[in-house]
Structure 1
């Protein structure tokens, strides 16, 4: 199922930073709250007592010691984890490619909620799938419009069997799909024989501590759920999972094994040890509070410096603020001025499937030091001003 054709959209440079550049580009988590001294002691103990096991190859199954940690996370969004149908991944990115390779065929269409995470659309294209924008409104993918789009595609002779969505604190808009819309969407997907791919890295990061039932909690046998520890622990461990419908587990486990041969037993052991001692509540609460503070600082600064030609929503969770230029200007035209001003963002074109959303731009508040956010937005306001662009 692999294709040698190059993806049509390259991944944006998310993690590169100049010496004095204030970066709002990459969605990096703030790891300052991790108990690194304690983690170092746990890692040392893991190596001394079990290093010959945790540093060895292992089977393509989630470690039994990590299952309770995953089950607790999924239960927060009303999903019952079925251990035999959990497939380990090296973060959600590997999971996306595994889904595309295992469940799609080159040339098939995959419907994508847009604007869409560029890592997903690039993975789909790399596997030979053709992303198609799923009709959406402010509440997410529109079930009735989806029916019409699928009918149109199939009438044109296209094969479409997959729908990709990021329904909770969506990347890049930060929006969350309401529960009634989730139910209606899943009903439509059943009617249309569409399998839903639910990408959920931010679902537990609501600023007020509330959560929304995951799509996988409503229709677990028609949703492939992608979970990750990258946003609620540490991305450097490269550890995530797929929760799969029973009929698809063997296929996705085989593809995952082909891609990585073996998941990291060491990373799984570190996560399991942390969870066994602390659980998740305290760490996730700290993340929520920190991100809520940064989001408030960013939106307050935006209100002070941006003109009426820009529109955005106050985020309720996640990592991002999504700006839209009301006159439809392509925000890539501001990148040079932003770089000169010492600030970075991700232009909306990176989140498109077919050129849409070029008038948007994504700002990540999750990693920027709180005392640098106002200065970063001041620089951004200068870069986005008509005078600067005209110059």
Structure 2
């Protein structure tokens, strides 16, 4: 008699990330991939991290290879707290939790803040990884009106905010759109959320990647008690470290610590010590400008290719930082169907529909430019331009 496994209702509802499925295609060497939101390997500080690893294994090998506290390595938490103590706010290390990638932070937030049917507010569109993490806990998503400057705060109503467990947003160079929330919108959003008693979740993996180096105040700095802040070392050091962090009021952080204990006990001690050794002397501030310069050049290269190759009916933004360009196609063109045709010609991107919590717009797509050499950007965009011209030509005359 064969053993019967009965999956839980929650497990039966799980789906794979659209991006991860597309990345399986991009493993073929002939494919020009604008799909993955992968940092450029050219930015990884390999020698610096090799030196840091050697120091850790030479000076504290037993501690680095032993279990550690769930909250994280104390010197690293203190470094994170000090770095976020700017714009007039002081963040204590007691409010910092080191996570196994910022994706774990999203999962822990879902565990401690969402019940089945809970109202969760998100941007339009929003980060697919967050939607996927939160969906496991069966919330009711409410999509907020958004434009090139972020959430349209003038359109937010008390009815939309009422009863929400939290509002999740990426103010800086958002994934997938690359947009940055304006200072005026930040101030308005913090004020409206505080008035309604709704916590804000500020996800900020791209905030350091402003091409010009200009920073806007964090939501956290505007209301430390009303904002849960999430950061990551993936975009400024290396994603393989799987090291992120959450800053939250202590009553929330305490529950996240308990949830993390049940999940993985603690983030690897070895990775934390290597990262601390890498960043503790100010290296990160010397390293980030090289990333900004590279990504800014890559972005300009792709923008020039889009101007040259895409038909006039197609629209896109001009990011001031981050890793993505958001493209809007004429109504009637399904970017999912376009992807299938592009893959036949060895080009990949991410269709926009999965980034919408509600009412997906199929005529959108995301392009990532940071890992693709200039000549391949030119070749890939040219192919996409040819496909789009054919799609537009095939639209009904009234479309």
Confirm or deny a common fold (TM above 0.5).
yes
Match of 1:15 in 2: 23
What's the CA shift for 1:380?
Answer: 1.9
C-alpha distance 185-33 of structure 1, shift in aligned 2 (>3 A): closer
Structure 1, residues 3-41: CA drift from partner, whole Å, max 9, x if none? 445146744235332121011101111132333234223
Give the aligned partner of residue 251 of structure 2. 247
User: Cα distance, 1:130 vs. partner?
Assistant: 2.4
Alpha-carbon distance between aligned partners in 2 of 1:206 and 1:323, rounded to the nearest angstrom: 20
For 1:1-391, what aligned pairs fall within 5 Å after superposition? 3-4=10-11, 6-7=13-14, 10-13=17-20, 15-16=23-24, 17=26, 18-71=28-81, 73-75=83-85, 80-150=90-160, 159-386=163-390
Shift of 1:387: 5.4
CA shift for structure 1 position 388: 9.2
CA distance in 1, matches of 2:224, 2:206: 19
Answer whether contact 1:3 1:106 (CA < 8 A) is retained.
Answer: no
Shift of 1:101: 0.7
- TM superposition score normalised by structure 1: 0.92
Distance 1:200 1:38, change over 3 A: closer
Alpha-carbon offset, residue 94 of structure 1: 0.6
SS of residue paired to 2:213: coil
Distance 2:195 2:388 in 1: 45
Whether contact under 8 Å (1:112, 1:163) holds in the other structure is yes
- For each residue in 1:137-161, what CA deviation from the matched residue of structure 2 results, as whole angstroms up to 9, or x when unmatched? 332223343325526xx6xxxx522
After superposition, the Cα gap between the structure-2 partners of 1:79 and 1:327, relative to the gap in structure 1 and judged at 3 Å, is: farther
Q: Is the Cα contact below 8 Å between 2:72 and 2:266 reproduced in 1?
A: no
Q: 1:353 to 1:387 in 2, by over 3 A?
A: closer
Q: CA deviation at 1:249?
A: 1.8
Once the two structures are overlaid, the 10-residue window that deviates more, 329-338 or 92-101, is: 329-338
Q: Alignment partner of 1:366: what SS?
A: coil
SS at match of 2:69: coil
- Which moved further from structure 2: 125-134 or 308-317? 125-134
**Which shows bigger deviation, 196-205 or 10-19?**
10-19
- Summarize the Cα distance change of 1:118–1:387 in structure 2 as closer, same or farther, 3 Å threshold: closer
8 A Cα contact 2:78 2:93, kept in partner = no
Task: Judge which range, 129-138 or 6-15, deviates more.
Answer: 6-15
Work out the number of aligned pairs and report it: 384
Supply the distance in 2 between the matched residues of 1:301 and 1:275 (Cα, whole angstroms).
Answer: 36
**Residues 175, 387 of structure 1: alpha-carbon distance in 2 compared, 3 angstrom cutoff:** closer
Partners in 1 of 2:97 and 2:293 — Cα distance?
Answer: 31
Runs of 5+ consecutive residues of structure 1 not aligned to the other structure: none
Unaligned runs of 5+ in 2: 1-8
Deviation at 1:183, TM superposition (A): 1.0
Q: Give, in angstroms, the shift of residue 278 of structure 1.
A: 4.5
Cα shift readout 1:258-315 (whole Å, capped 9, x = no counterpart):
2221111111111111112452112100000000000000000000000011101111
CA contact (8 A) 1:341 1:380 kept: no
Q: Deviations over 1:38-64 (max 9, x none)?
A: 422331332243222112111112312
Deviation of 1:379 (Å): 2.1
Aligned partners of 2:317 and 2:368: how far apart in 1?
A: 14
| TM-score, reference length from structure 2 | 0.90
C-alpha distance in structure 2 between counterparts of 1:230 and 1:96, whole Å:
15
RMSD: 2.2
